[in-house]
Amino acid sequence: MSSAQAALDADPTPPSWGAEEIAACRAALRPEAGAEFDLVVIGAGITGAGVARDAAARGLRVLVLEAQDVAYGTSSRSSRLIHGGVRYLEQAEFGLVFEALRERDRLYALAPHLVRPARFIFPSFRGDRLGPLRLRLGLTLYDALRLFRGKGHRYLPPRKARTLEPLLGEEGLRGAVWYEDAVTDDARLTLTVLQDALRLGAKALTYAPVSQISAEADGRVRVEIEGGRVHARAVVVAAGPWTGPKLLGQAGRGVLSLSKGIHVVLKASDCPVRAPVVVQTPGQRRILFAVPWGSRTYLGTTDSAYEGDPGQSQVTEAEEDEVLDIVRRVLPHARLGRDAIISTWSGVRPLVRPPGVDADDTVELARTHRIVEGERGVFGIVGGKLTTYRQMAEDVVDVVVAHLKREHGRTDLGPCTTQRRPLVPGRPLSAEELGDPLLADLADRHGPYARTLARMVAENPQSAEPLAPDLPYRWIEVQSAIEHEGCVHLIDILRRRLPLVLTDVALGAHVAPQIAQRLVAARGGSASEVAHELDQYAEAVYGETRRRPPLQRQAG
């Protein structure tokens, strides 16, 4: 057996990224340390993680700086779909759809535990803008842009559509199409991409907002953070909706329009859709989805212009009502009252603004991406979508490599390899292994690494206990999050590593105190820090969901 095959077959362990590694990285960036990298990536969303992974795989020394947590912004607040973008066909964005479908198929192979095919049902009701004929024509083109690989779409007459999805209303149903796209865990996908970058030698530091970027006379770029400084031969700004003049100078002015989308989470028993359902909005071009999510179902997203801090986007009561009303027309048998809502989330998408397009008209903006050049050696990657993150990263790293070759004489950097490198090394879990309930629960989030977690459970059986009775998340994942997933605060664990904030009826309140104690203990903190973590957690949860977790504080 070759050494490469042996490595592939070995059960993987993610790189250590806990309190000790975080402290060491922060210390290495003190001004007196003189830290220097080939590339500094600003932003640890899906695009920044992808850039770091691509660059590290080509042999660059890479540092990622993130102002908040991994996937804090758009990359943990999407519709959790990997898709070609059926609606972009109306905008004649055929290149974007072709690229997205190609990248979707690559992710099937590179991250099968995180990107899973699903058959979507796209119904047409009386009064909808898109009738059955237009849907069939559009999905035929969709299949063609995928070069007719895989299962093509099918037309479903009304009776067949209701057989496949009994929750669909009967009145006014004109038919449906049944087609393939994919579902994912956006925050977990982002983390997994970044972990592979770390495995390739990159460094990452969260809660390190950049205060200044400046080009120096010797061709290097200086990047300042609070209490730290680093020099780089190139910088890529991948800050999503925070991209602008502060990071890119004049080149970052007016390049983006921001679009707000909201999502509502219900119990699956209240909205038991069997597969994702596409919902047309009467009189508008935008569409919503009703997506099954284990014991939950989520509804969304809206699409409206947004101004302000992208991190402070929140779902209003009126927006909740709007989503429920739109979906109720298509799924009249679901229980869609506001009292059925478990949680909500809101995300802000960074859309490239073409010249002459009204910034408020976000529905008409496609999810194309653009590379922007600021000062010498400073590049920005803006726009795009979750599905095409890998191609976006390849495009901008190609530009960086050309810059390093031209300005710094680097001739040792190879081509992109991320289109064939699995996100998690190791043998996929077999059907027999997935018969084990523990492995089955862990595999969807951790892939081959689930075997390592299962061995850790064997040493401490209590760590197999679920965090909530009707959710798949286990205590062993808390340990892994603290030791291997770069968590600094409690909200990092319960919102982006294990999304109890979105799925748990108690918003994670029942386990938050114990997890906060473990997290603070790992960094050698005090009881007052535990209380502070809980206070921060409560405020962060309310800030996003307008719901307060019923935390129970211990006396004394």
Provide the CATH number for the domain around residue 466.
Answer: 1.10.8
518 and 532 part of one domain: yes
CA distance 486 to 69: 8
CA distance 308 to 58: 37
CA distance 309 to 304: 15
Residue 12 binned pLDDT confidence (cut-offs 50, 70, 90): confident
331 and 268 part of one domain: yes
Q: How many CB atoms lie within 10 A of CB 406?
A: 9
> For the segment 110-161, what is each residue's pLDDT rounded down to a tens digit?
999 999 999 999 999 999 999 999 999 999 999 999 988 878 999 999 999 9
Q: What's the whole-number average pLDDT of the chain?
A: 93
Alpha carbon 23 to chain centroid distance? 26
485 and 528 part of one domain: yes
> For the segment 400-422, what is each residue's pLDDT rounded down to a tens digit?
999 999 999 999 999 999 999 99
438 and 540 part of one domain: yes
Residue 313 lies in a domain: yes
Model pLDDT, residue 363: 60
396 and 529 part of one domain: no
What's phi and psi for 348, nearest 5 deg?
A: -115, 120
CATH classification at residue 382? 3.50.50.60
Q: What integer is the mean pLDDT of 438-447?
A: 96
What's phi and psi for 305, nearest 5 deg?
A: -60, 145
Model pLDDT, residue 5: 41
Q: For residue 98, with 0-12 CB atoms within 10 Å meaning exposed, 13-18 middle and 19 or more buried, which class applies?
A: middle
Residue 128: partners with Cβ closer than 8 Å, 6 or more residues away: 174, 280, 282
Q: For residue 34, with 0-12 CB atoms within 10 Å meaning exposed, 13-18 middle and 19 or more buried, which class applies?
A: exposed
3-class SS string, 121-181: EEEEECCCCCCHHHHHHHHHHHHHHCCCCCCCCEEECHHHHHHHCCCCCCCCEEEEEEEEE
Q: Is the pLDDT of residue 196 over 60?
A: yes
Residue 338 lies in a domain: yes
Model pLDDT, residue 556: 43
> For the segment 333-390, what is each residue's pLDDT rounded down to a tens digit?
999 999 999 999 999 999 998 765 555 556 656 678 999 999 999 999 999 999 999 9
218 and 320 part of one domain: no
Query: For the chain, what is the radius of gyration of the CA atoms?
Result: 23
Name the token pair of 265.
Answer: 């989470």
Model pLDDT, residue 553: 67
148 and 172 part of one domain: yes
CA distance 111 to 447: 8
Residue 110 lies in a domain: no
Residue 94 lies in a domain: no
Whether residue 257 contacts residue 63, with contact meaning beta carbons closer than 8 Å, is answered with: no
CA distances from 82 to 100, 121, 193, 387 (A): 8, 16, 15, 5
Model pLDDT, residue 467: 98
484 and 350 part of one domain: no
Q: How many CB atoms lie within 10 A of CB 28?
A: 15
Q: What is the DSSP string of 61-112?
A: -EEEE-SSSTT-SGGGSS--EE---GGGGGGT-HHHHHHHHHHHHHHHHH-T
Q: What predicted TM-score, i.e. pTM, was given to this entire model?
A: 0.95
Cis, peptide link before residue 301, omega less than 30° from 0: yes
Q: Is the pLDDT of residue 104 over 60?
A: yes
Residue 462 lies in a domain: yes
Question: In terms of Cα–Cα distance, which of 367, 386, 393 is closest to 97?
Answer: 367
Question: In terms of Cα–Cα distance, which of 43, 39, 12 is closest to 389?
Answer: 43
3 state SS of 439: helix
Using a pLDDT cut of 70, give the percent of the chain over it. 95
Q: What is the DSSP string of 491-556?
A: HIIIIIIS-HHHH-TTTTTTTHHHHHHHHHHHTT--HHHHHHHHHHHHHHHHHHHS------PPP-
Q: For residue 165, with 0-12 CB atoms within 10 Å meaning exposed, 13-18 middle and 19 or more buried, which class applies?
A: buried
Name the token pair of 135.
Answer: 């849907």
Name the token pair of 94.
Answer: 């055929």
Q: Is the pLDDT of residue 545 over 70?
A: yes
What's phi and psi for 540, nearest 5 deg?
A: -65, -40
Q: Is the pLDDT of residue 264 over 60?
A: yes
What's phi and psi for 106, nearest 5 deg?
A: -65, -40
What's phi and psi for 388, nearest 5 deg?
A: -100, 20
Model pLDDT, residue 359: 53
Residue that finishes a domain, picked among 317, 332, 354: 354
Whether residue 488 contacts residue 482, with contact meaning beta carbons closer than 8 Å, is answered with: no
CA distance 349 to 384: 9
CA distances from 113 to 318, 443, 448, 465 (A): 36, 7, 9, 22
3 state SS of 433: helix
CA distance 477 to 471: 13
* Domains in the chain, number: 3
Beta bridge partners of 122: 177
CA triplet 459, 483, 43: central angle to 5 degrees? Answer: 150
Whether residue 54 contacts residue 416, with contact meaning beta carbons closer than 8 Å, is answered with: yes
CA distance 373 to 377: 8
Q: How many CB atoms lie within 10 A of CB 417?
A: 12
249 and 263 part of one domain: no
> For the segment 471-529, what is each residue's pLDDT rounded down to a tens digit?
999 999 999 999 999 999 999 999 999 999 999 999 999 999 999 999 999 999 999 99
Residue 10 binned pLDDT confidence (cut-offs 50, 70, 90): low
Q: Is the pLDDT of residue 4 over 50?
A: no
267 and 181 part of one domain: yes
CA distance 68 to 204: 12
Whether residue 33 contacts residue 56, with contact meaning beta carbons closer than 8 Å, is answered with: no
CATH classification at residue 171? 3.30.9.10
Residue 221 lies in a domain: yes
173 and 261 part of one domain: yes
What's phi and psi for 323, nearest 5 deg?
A: -65, -45
241 and 261 part of one domain: no
CA distance 393 to 54: 7
Question: In terms of Cα–Cα distance, which of 273, 283, 293, 417 is closest to 343?
Answer: 293
Using a pLDDT cut of 90, give the percent of the chain over it. 88
Model pLDDT, residue 1: 36
Q: What integer is the mean pLDDT of 436-461?
A: 95
Residue 79 lies in a domain: no
Q: What integer is the mean pLDDT of 289-306?
A: 94
User: Whole domain around residue 16: which residue ranges?
Assistant: 12-74+188-255+366-408
Whether residue 376 contacts residue 404, with contact meaning beta carbons closer than 8 Å, is answered with: no
Residue 551 lies in a domain: no
